[in-house]
Amino acid sequence: MAKTQIITIGRRCGSGGRIIGRTLAEKLGLPFYDKELITAAAKESGLCDKFMENFEETPTASLLYSLVMNAQQGGFYMGKPIELVAYEAQINAVREAGAKGPCVIVGRCADYILKDDYDVVSVFITASKSFRAARVMEMDNISEKEANAKLARIDKARASYHNYHAETKWGASDSYELCISTDKLSYEAAAELIENYIKSRK
Dump pLDDT digits (tens) for 3-14: 899 999 999 999
User: Which residues on neighbouring strands pair with residue 125, listed in sequence order?
Assistant: 11, 180
Q: Which residues contact 164 (CB under 8 A, 6 or more apart)?
A: 60
* pLDDT value for 41: 64
Q: What is residue 84's predicted lDDT score, i.e. its pLDDT?
A: 66
CA distances from 157 to 23, 77, 162 (A): 25, 23, 9
Return the percentage of the chain with pLDDT > 70, whole number: 75
pLDDT at 2: 65
Digit-coded pLDDT (tens) for 113-161? 999 999 999 999 999 999 999 999 999 999 999 999 999 999 998 898 7
Q: How many C-beta neighbours within 10 Å does residue 148 have?
A: 18
Phi then psi for residue 5, to 5 deg, are -90, 125
Cβ burial, residue 57 (10 Å; 0-12/13-18/19+)? middle
Residue 60: pLDDT over 70: no
Kindly report the number of other CB atoms within 10 A of residue 55's CB atom: 24
E strand or H helix at 9, and its extent? strand 5-11
**pLDDT tens profile 78-114:** 445 566 666 777 788 889 899 999 999 998 889 999 9
Across the chain, what does the average pLDDT equal? Answer: 83
> Homologous superfamily of 5-190 in CATH?
P-loop containing nucleotide triphosphate hydrolases (3.40.50.300)
* Residue 68: per-residue pLDDT: 42
What's the pLDDT score for residue 87? 73
Q: Is 11 helix (H, G, I), strand (E, B) or coil?
A: strand
pLDDT at position 161? 79
Q: Which range (15-24, 68-77, 80-89) has the least confidence?
A: 68-77
Q: Give the Cα separation of 13 and 166 in Å (integer).
A: 19
The H or E element that residue 178 is part of is: strand 178-181
